[in-house]
Structure 1
Amino acid sequence: MKKKKFKEFNISKFFKKAVAVTMACTFVLTGIPGDGFLATHIRDGVKANLGVDLGATEVKANNLRHVSVHDPSVVDGQNGYYYMFGSHRAFARSKDMCNWQTITNNINTDYNRLFKVGADWSRLGNPNYDLAGNTWAPDIIYNKKMKKWCMYMSINGQDFNSSIALLTADSIDGPYSYKGTVVYSGFDKGAHPVSKTDYYKVCGKNASIDRYLAGNRWNLNYGTNAIDPSVFYDQNGGLWMSYGSWFGGIFILKLDDNTGLRDYNTKYPLDTNASDGKASDPYMGNRIAGGLGSSGEASYVRHIGNYYYLFVTYGGFVSNGGYNTRMFRSKHLNGPYVDAAGNYATYTKGVGINNTWGTTGIRLHSYYKMASMDRAEIAGGHNCVFVDREGKMYDIYHTRFDDGEEFHEVRVHQMVMNQDGWPCEAPFEYKGETLSKNGYSLNECAGTYEFVKHDQQQKVDDKTKGAYNVTKSSTITLHSNGKITGAIDGSWTYQANTPYIKLYSEGVSYKGVFLRQQDEKNVTKMTFSAVGSDNTCIWGAKGQGILNYSKASVPEGKYHIKNAGSNLYLDVDGNKPDNNTNVQQFAFNGCSAQTFYIKPVGNYVAILTGSSDFKCSLDVTDGFTKGTNISQWKYFGGDMQLFKLVQNPDGTYSFLSKVSSETNAMEIFENKTTNGANVDQWEFWGGNSQKWYLEPAR
């Protein structure tokens, strides 16, 4: 039996109605885009006029079962399932946060009765109003005092006359019943009389509504649209709801724990200053983001650790609308909420739609494509952030693709806190990975990475359908000496026995985490994700997905094999002929220990050793996993003795072991450049330690 040699390791909605009516046929089957209004106030878009229940659609891809649910919100059903609720009564559930199955409940068939109050309000002034396309972006929570599941549903109106309805149920699967309406918007002195709302109950029967009006219409520079609820408990157990959409801002209201409806005992002053990052309105509540004609939508608030985190999506939800989610935080429920650069989430002056491609807020991701993805992800947004039973945190959002269509699917990415308490989104979809609390070795972290720098100010082509400005990956190398070269130059450090990484480049400090993941092709890779001091997020993925190599062939014969990273030569220790003799690198001396015979074997090659008079070959010692040692063993042609020879763009060669299914390559352990450094196999990531020059030998 071969002796093992072990190696030691070091420890939605702003643009949402700008969808051409000609797209309706496609959307009937696949689900259609979400909610909202154009800056030019285009109304009566496709979604509001289909008059059908679109539901959720299942799609199998990336070895996962995805669903097409717009504006997803996820909750633990406390019955072994996680539940997802979205616009147009599209619902799903999962046991593992990876594979989702569509479901229905009584809301799908009984929505006209359940939401009659809200529909009657939204129908005012629009006799053709159809509720079917206007049930948007629900959120659900288990109310501890009521001992009920409480679902908060947006009932959208075509002239901002919207409302948020509360349904309750004993079981998360239903049946649900109508409890009441939490808040209204769009009231005026014409078609939408304020007397049909609870405004006077909140503000007093003689309270003026003039500040909400521009002429006789809803004032878009001041009033919000009462949609997109996010319901959460504060650190003291109080129940709150954030809500709102273009243009008046994002607001929060205190809810009554006993009813789930508005807490009429909580009062809010009239304060429109916002110079300190906060503002308030007696009816709408505390303004925590946007305002003055500029806003965003799809707010999501959660108290995690020491902070309240606020997520807001900006732009238009369609493919060329620039949709993107940004992150803020505050130590106080009512704000101010700030980003990593210290910018307030609230506005003191109108900025139009510019924050769609602005610098305020930490942009979680741009339109982007990584090498293992078949399609670019674009217009990803309207997220929720969820913490599961094990304490793992996730960013869950819908995304479109650069295929010229408006079809969307949900994506789930794990998020991990960095050293400064900012959640960092992992580059690849969640597939059950767990963060290493003990960190990783330098050899695992150093190397060449596929690199994505998410563009804060990314603009997209809004003229040509299917032509999008997509951030494509580049390449950087994290050198073991702490330097960064490639697409960015700088330095990096990692904290031993932790997963943390710090990077410095062009005056920006990035802090994040290493996390081992599987990419979309199910190749396991080391990744990193970090948040920059300038609100920019960066991702890295180490491994063969980024490599551009081709199968190579060289003349059969004798070679000296020189490592590209160290300029030292492959060498059989002590020039011994014995089985299990270790293989290392050493300065060139031209002896038989450094002479190898490359022998073609089908699509592979064997590397026979001169030290054994070519009777032994290089052999992956008793294993196929990365980190397995390479030694010399009597040649018999097994998979552990065969390598795929590939040529890299720079003219060097790499040897991919057959026993690892060509995922691992022969390399110098820990990128060392000293005599005697060991040779093993490791995940093929394309660094110089895995590249070799072949020099013909006599």
Structure 2
Amino acid sequence: MSTAGQQKGADGGILFPDSPGEQKLYDTSILDTESAWGTHNAHDPGIIKTPGGYYIFSTDVRVGGAPVPGVMVRKSADLIRWEWVHYALPGIPQIAEEWARATNLWAPDVVRHNEKYRMYYSASSFGSRQSLIGLQTADSIEGPWTDEGAVIKTRDEDPLNAIDANVVCDAEGRMWMVYGSFFGGIHIVELDKESGKPLKEGFGQLLAVRDKTTEDGAVEGPYIVYNEQFRKYYLFVSYDSLFEDYNVRVARADSITGPYTDVHGRDMKDSTYMPQHETGVKILGGYRFGKDAGWIAPGHNSVLNDNGTYYMVHHARGGENKHWPYLHIRRILWTEEGWPVVSPERYAGEVEQDIPAGLIPGQWERLVHDPSAHGQVSPQLLKLQESGEMMGEHGIGVWSFDGRQTMTLSWNDPAEGKGQVEKVQLLPAWDWEEDRQVLVFTGLDDNGIAVWGKKTPEA
């Protein structure tokens, strides 16, 4: 777990994170200065923890110019402040250039095995099935890297494409690679641990697919995590349009090869269920709080399990200009039922802790990640009264608190003859929009829809 600064809040005695410092967005003065990029120009980030700190490898992108091919590398000591390292490779490997005609490299994933680092990268051109997942190895996380050739290649006439690799070991120690996109869906193949390449020929087993073959019907960026507490495998994927309504979905399984199902038991590889936007638990989409421009199309995440503390690592596009991608890291919390939910705020060093009940009443912004919503969602006002009553744009109801971290919001819904219940967890965080300490909540309602909240200053 990272060790960031903490300070006690003035009004409750709990530990809030220190200010992470100013993050200047849309800074045209650094367009050609890679060493100053920090979290800027990060896309499809894959994270790994090493003895020397945290490293992120990401897709070659560049605002204001053509990208330099070679895989971007950044490092951090605390998961908050990120320093540019270099490009991992001197350009596009020959085999990738010849096979995929790629002009940049996509979505790298780095793992460690037998004292060596393995970097799996994707080479393709947008909208093409002629793709390749290649392998590079190194003794050091910062290279130099040695080309080990192709892992999987696909042709234009194949039903899928070979991009977006994530390599993971199951609970028995077997090694697997999950990969794929809206061309044919998400597949998984078992790897030979010694070579890092597939044990058998072929494309493997299907895990998730949608019925459309357009960008708006995308399912891509797969990432699998095993949670020992719940003894489940969790498949994270990104849905929909990369520049408009990208969002992160999750499903889980008892076996790494599936089937992966959501809170309603819907199988992620069943493309016949309609409407398809209801499949998978949507835990992150575009949003805005207050008057801030917010974020558009967050997605293509990796997940860090840092000694039992989980983080989601993803990119998001600025609400003022969607062509500017930034690196985001968020705490993952887990519901009692074993589903991951993410913090409404980017990580600044916050830790889970018991919350004094007196901090909860007041005005809040409540935000719902409706799976049918496209683009950004905006918050609704919510008033939590000391009496336990609540009222807001969503309606009226009551709230309760377990005395530790979990709050239950019970909404009245006379039209339906029953109430809607949201069970959420409280977390002291840093408000990146308002540059202050803030109490937030995150959770799911009883229909499996993600709900966020952020406390606001009294008017």
Place the TM-score, normalised by the shorter chain, in its bin: 0.7 to 0.9
Asked if 1:540 corresponds to 2:447, the answer is no
Distance 1:150 1:538 in 2: 37
Q: List per-residue Cα deviations over 1:589-627 (Å, max 9, x = no partner).
A: xxxxxxxxxxxxxxxxxxxxxxxxxxxxxxxxxxxxxxx
Q: Which amino acid aligns with 1:150?
A: R
Please name the residue that 2:300 is paired with. Answer: 382
Q: Distance in 2 between matches of 1:405 and 1:104?
A: 25
Match runs of 1:125-136 below 5 Å: 129=101, 131-133=102-104, 135-136=105-106
Q: Is residue 100 from structure 1 mapped to residue 100 from structure 2 by the alignment?
A: no
Say whether residues 1:495 and 2:402 are aligned partners.
yes
Question: C-alpha deviations, 1:28-76, integer Å up to 9, x for none?
Answer: x85xxxxxxxxxxxxxxxxxxxxxxx996745xxxxx533211001110
Question: Cα–Cα, structure 1 residues 330 and 482, in superposed 2: closer, same or farther, change >3 Å?
Answer: farther
Q: 1:369 aligns with which of 283, 288, 291?
A: 288
2:384 alignment counterpart = 478
Task: Write out per-residue CA displacement over residues 233-283 of structure 1, whole angstroms, 9 at most, x where no aligned residue.
Answer: 11111111110011311011111111111123xxxxxxxxxxxxxxxxx72
Structure 2 partner of 1:148: 116
SS of structure 2 residue aligned to 1:102: strand
Matches within 5 A, 1:388-467: 388-389=306-307, 391-436=308-353, 439-460=354-375
Partner of 1:176: 145
Rounded to whole Å, the distance in 2 between the matches of 1:253 and 1:72 is 22
Deviations 1:55-114 (A, max 9, x none): 96745xxxxx533211001110221x100111112221111100111111551x2x34xx
Amino acid at match of 1:539: W
* Residues 12 and 356, structure 2, Cα contact 8 Å, conserved in 1: no
Gaps of 5+ in 2: 1-10, 15-26, 61-70, 414-418
- Kindly state the Cα deviation for residue 504 of structure 1 after the two structures are TM-superposed: 3.0
Q: TM-score, normalised by structure 2?
A: 0.83
**Partners of 2:281 and 2:390 in 1: how far apart?**
23
Relative distance call for 1:514 and 1:8 in structure 2 (3 A) is closer
Aligned partner of 1:317 in structure 2 is: 242
Q: What is the CA-CA distance between 1:173 and the residue it aligns to?
A: 0.6
Aligned residue-pair number: 412
Larger relative contact order (CA 8 Å, sep ≥ 6): 2
- Which structure dedicates a bigger proportion of its chain to strand? 2
**For 2:391 and 2:281, how far apart are their aligned partners in 1?**
25
- After TM superposition, the structure 1 = structure 2 runs for residues 509-658 of structure 1, keeping only pairs within 5 Å, are 509-520=421-432, 521-544=434-457
Moved more, 89-98 or 520-529: 520-529
1:249 equivalenced with 2:174 (yes/no): no
* Cα separation, 1, equivalents of 2:423 and 2:183: 33
Deviations 1:269-307 (A, max 9, x none): xxxxxxxxxxxxx72111111155455111111112321
Following the alignment from structure 2 to structure 1, what is the Cα–Cα distance between the partners of residues 76 and 351?
18
Kindly provide the amino acid, as one letter, of the partner of residue 119 in structure 2. Answer: M
Contact 1:248 / 1:293 at 8 angstroms: preserved in 2?
A: no
The residue matched to 2:97 in structure 1 has which SS?
Answer: helix
Aligned to 2:18: none
Q: 1:157 to 1:428 in 2, by over 3 A?
A: closer
Let me know the Cα RMSD of the aligned residues: 2.7
Deviations 1:288-347 (A, max 9, x none): 1115545511111111232111111111212xx321111111122111111223222112
* Structure 1 Cα separation of the partners of residues 162 and 324 of structure 2: 26
Indicate the residue corresponding to 1:22 in structure 2.
none
- In structure 2, relative to structure 1, the CA distance for the partners of 1:246 and 1:478 (3 Å cut) is same
Q: Give, in angstroms, the shift of residue 415 of structure 1.
A: 1.2
Distance 1:283 1:481 in 2: 62
8 Å CA contact retained: 2:73, 2:88 = no
2:58 to 86, 96, 110: 86
| Residue-by-residue CA offset, 1:556-611 (whole Å, 9 max, x unaligned) | xxxxxxxxxxxxxxxxxxxxxxxxxxxxxxxxxxxxxxxxxxxxxxxxxxxxxxxx
Equivalent-residue separation in structure 2 for 1:508 and 1:337 (angstroms): 26
CA–CA separation in structure 2 for the residues paired with 1:55 and 1:380: 24
8 Å CA contact retained: 1:250, 1:291: no
Shift of 1:404: 3.8
Q: Where does residue 303 of structure 1 map in the other structure?
A: 226
Aligned counterparts of 2:344 and 2:399: Cα–Cα separation in 1: 19
Alpha-carbon contact 1:87-1:138 (below 8 Å) kept: yes
Q: Report the equivalent of 1:167.
A: 136
How many Å apart are 1:535 and its aligned residue?
Answer: 3.1
In 1, the alpha carbon distance for the partners of 2:212 and 2:34 equals 33
Cα contact 1:167–1:180 (8 A) shared by 2: yes
Indicate if the aligned counterparts of 2:335 and 2:443 stay in contact, CA closer than 8 A. Answer: yes
Cα distance, 1:367 vs structure 2? 2.1
- Kept in 2, the 8 Å contact 1:180–1:261? The answer is no
Q: Deviations over 1:167-211 (max 9, x none)?
A: 111110101101132112126xxxxxxxxxxxxxxxxxxxxxxxx
Higher helix content, 1 or 2: 1
What's the offset of the Cα at 1:350? 8.4
For 2:73 and 2:219, the matched residues in 1 are separated by 24
Percentage of matched positions with identical amino acids: 27
What is the rounded CA distance, in whole Å, between the counterparts of 2:35 and 2:98 in structure 1?
29
- Say whether residues 1:225 and 2:161 are aligned partners: yes
TM-score (norm 1): 0.56
